[in-house]
Amino acid sequence: MTENRGRPSVLSEEHILAAAILCADSNGIGGCTMRAVADRLGVTPMALYRHFKDKDALLARIPDTLLLDVMVATTRQQSAIVALRSIAYGLAEILKAHPWVTRLFEQPVLGPNMQVSAKYCIGLLVAEGCSPDQAFRWIRALIAQVVGEMLTSHGTFDGTGVDLLLTAIETELGD
């Protein structure tokens, strides 16, 4: 006989994502299954499918969720270089706290939080004389630098590569 688990008063994407992050922190990304997340929430796995098509769709939203605080802080910056530095160092802190999430950056992170922040940074870079295409490439290069350094250094981050990249961007903006 199946146990009736009941339903939480509100099951939202935010609750599901928070449970998925806790699940992956505890069990690794491989152990973050729809069933494991549902168990954490006290619901059936089918309840999650109302919000996410499948496990891949759920996992794809995790980086964006973790980046929320970084992105909010970024949109308060007035300088493109300061905003980009905020993204880089904030991302490094997230990857230190949740090393398993690094592999989720193998695909572009296109969640709503990252989109808002990227548009904001692109706007700042364009205002400082950069083309939108170049601004987008710099943002991608910056994220790739952080993720690559975290992968190759096994979770340590010294920021040298980021600082060199930001210096190059600043130099090009000054020309």
The pLDDT averaged over each successive group of 10 residues in the chain (175 residues) is 53 96 95 96 96 94 89 81 91 93 80 83 91 92 91 86 94 83
Q: Are residues 90 and 27 in the same domain?
A: no
Are 54 and 138 members of one domain?
A: no
pLDDT at 96: 93
Please indicate, yes or no, whether residues 31 and 105 belong to a single structural domain of this protein: no
Kindly report the pTM of this predicted structure: 0.83
Do 38 and 83 lie in a common domain?
no
Could you give the number of structural domains in the chain? 2
Q: What is the pLDDT of residue 160?
A: 92
pLDDT of residue 133: 94
What pLDDT does residue 175 have?
A: 66
Question: In this structure, what CATH number is given to the domain that contains residue 35?
Answer: 1.10.10.60
Range of the domain at 34: 13-62
Give the residue among 77, 132, 98, 78 at the shortest CA–CA distance from 17.
98
Q: 4 lies in a domain?
A: no
Give residue 2's pLDDT: 45
- Whether 107 and 52 share a structural domain: no
